């Protein structure tokens, strides 16, 4: 039987992979997609990775994938899996760019307000925000200061003078992931991170000025402070070299653990360790350091964005209404409480290229979002719309409170560079009214819209599957890229 025949469509946007899809699966697989997206995932071999994740010890209920699924290291990107007390933690279920994530800054400005002197504003942003591979930031962080960021996340960065105390209420877990232990981070990770705080990096990371094109649910939009015609700024970055090094270091640790403990895996990239083991506890402690660094990095980037707007408009960022809507991480593994078979239990939820999508009343939400549910911020690929969504109760049942994280790559970076010219792409985007400021035009091709799935389609699947609801659509007018 062809493997695609072992996928059963349940409803319009849900596909269930039986345990006989691949011998050794402990639980079924579930992929949220339409017919075109599921076919793309099959061609990409990402469905095989959904099946492989289902081999892991202690996996609860199902191995999941969001509609932006594509091939990744170990887990597919877009993969979600939860593990009970007899389960494991796997760096391949988080990824190398730990806490790659996105935050959205609101303003009280409109497109008409920013168009006069727009090039000057963009010039200030470009001068303020270090971008590109290996770029150093304005903030020098000696080891003792870096330890404070590893433990204190955005709170530590605010204490350094970058941002406001009230920003913290609009970041997951108040801007500090618990359990961080800087002693579990290697010297090499310290070296890679000491000059990168407040830097954008390269790849798909960006700072983008956007216009709220459409509000789908006006009542929630008002509560979020979102209105049509509004200027917003989206910041997409992660843990830079720190996260990459921590993942690299602990993959080696987990590989040894797998061999010593005799854990049978279909793919070495799924190297893992049992929850509660020294290897798992050390990784969780280092992982929290990387998440805190990433959140702190986005906090510093937001400071430079605000500073540029203040300088251009000769007004304080508070008067410009530059409040943080929310900050979400896409690549994490964290302990959460979930209902399973009528009982509330603690699970280690891995989200790799997926966003938490918690409903109203969820205990992790700040009080001002208790009634609405969590803001979910979905970046488009370069030149396409982005979205604000909100979490749902259905997501708690269907996906351990998870939804998509973006469009999802459809074409490898190497293939995109071969088929698309960066200079031509820049001209095309500018003809559409989108100004692109890039460190290297040659690298733009890697992030071309045609290299990604249609983000609107992905978001529609998530809404159709009940994982999140659309609140607003954002149109880009300028993008700053590494």
Q: What residues contact residue 245 under an 8 Å CB cut-off, 6+ apart?
A: 186, 188, 189, 192, 193
Report the candidate in 393, 438, 345, 454 with the shortest Cα–Cα distance to residue 61.
Answer: 345
Dihedral angle sign, alpha carbons of residues 398, 400, 404, 409: negative
By annotation, the residues acting in catalysis are 405
Q: What residues contact residue 352 under an 8 Å CB cut-off, 6+ apart?
A: 72, 75, 76, 77, 78, 79, 80, 92, 93, 94, 95, 330, 331
Is the separation of the CB atoms in 54 and 82 below 8 Å?
no
Q: What residues contact residue 163 under an 8 Å CB cut-off, 6+ apart?
A: 154, 157, 299, 300, 302, 303, 306
CA angle (54, 61, 49) in 5-degree steps: 20
Is the separation of the CB atoms in 423 and 376 below 8 Å?
no
Count other C-beta atoms under 10 Å from residue 18's C-beta.
Answer: 14
Report the candidate in 347, 377, 331 with the shortest Cα–Cα distance to residue 95.
Answer: 331
């Amino acid at each position: 039987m062809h493997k695609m025949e072992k996928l059963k469509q349940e409803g319009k946007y849900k596909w269930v992979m039986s345990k006989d899809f691949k011998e050794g699966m402990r639980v079924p697989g579930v992929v949220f997609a339409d017919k075109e997206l599921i076919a793309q995932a099959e061609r990409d071999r990402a469905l095989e990775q959904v099946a492989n994740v289902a081999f892991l010890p202690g996996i609860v209920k199902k191995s999941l994938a969001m509609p932006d699924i594509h091939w990744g290291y170990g887990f597919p990107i877009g993969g979600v899996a939860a593990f009970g007390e007899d389960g494991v933690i796997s760096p391949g279920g988080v990824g190398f760019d730990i806490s790659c994530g996105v935050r959205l800054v609101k303003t009280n400005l409109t497109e008409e307000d920013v168009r006069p002197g727009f090039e000057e504003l963009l010039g200030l942003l470009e001068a303020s925000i270090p971008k590109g591979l290996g770029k150093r930031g304005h903030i020098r962080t000696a080891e003792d200061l870096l330890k404070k960021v590893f433990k204190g996340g955005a709170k530590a960065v605010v204490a350094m003078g970058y941002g406001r105390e009230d920003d913290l209420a609009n970041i997951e877990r108040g801007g500090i992931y618990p359990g961080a232990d800087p002693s579990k981070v290697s010297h090499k990770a310290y070296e890679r991170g000491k000059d990168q705080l407040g830097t954008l990096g390269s790849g798909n990371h960006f700072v983008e000025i956007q216009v709220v094109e459409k509000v789908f649910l006006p009542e929630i939009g008002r509560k979020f402070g979102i209105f049509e015609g509004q200027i917003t700024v989206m910041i997409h970055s992660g843990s830079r070299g720190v996260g990459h090094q921590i993942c690299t270091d602990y993959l080696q640790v987990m590989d040894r653990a797998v061999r010593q403990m005799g854990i049978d895996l279909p793919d070495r990239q799924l190297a893992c360790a049992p929850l509660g083991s020294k290897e798992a506890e050390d990784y969780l402690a280092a992982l929290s350091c990387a998440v805190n660094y990433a959140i702190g990095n986005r906090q510093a980037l937001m400071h430079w964005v605000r500073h540029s707007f203040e300088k251009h408009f000769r007004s304080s960022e508070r008067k410009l209404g530059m409040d943080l809507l929310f900050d979400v991480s896409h690549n994490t593994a964290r302990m959460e409480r979930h209902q399973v078979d009528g009982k509330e239990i603690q699970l280690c939820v891995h989200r790799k290229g997926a966003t938490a999508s918690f409903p109203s009343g969820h205990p992790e939400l700040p009080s001002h979002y208790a009634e609405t549910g969590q803001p979910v911020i979905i970046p488009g690929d370069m030149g396409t719309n982005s979205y604000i969504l909100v979490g749902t109760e259905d997501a708690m049942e269907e996906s351990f409170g998870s939804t998509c994280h973006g469009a999802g790559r459809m074409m490898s970076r190497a293939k995109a560079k071969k088929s698309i010219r960066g200079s031509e792409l820049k001209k095309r985007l500018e003809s559409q009214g989108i100004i692109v400021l890039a460190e290297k035009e040659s690298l733009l091709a890697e992030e071309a819209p045609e290299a990604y799935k249609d983000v609107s389609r992905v978001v529609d699947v998530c809404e159709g599957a009940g994982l999140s609801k659309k609140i607003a659509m954002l149109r880009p007018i300028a993008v700053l890229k590494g």
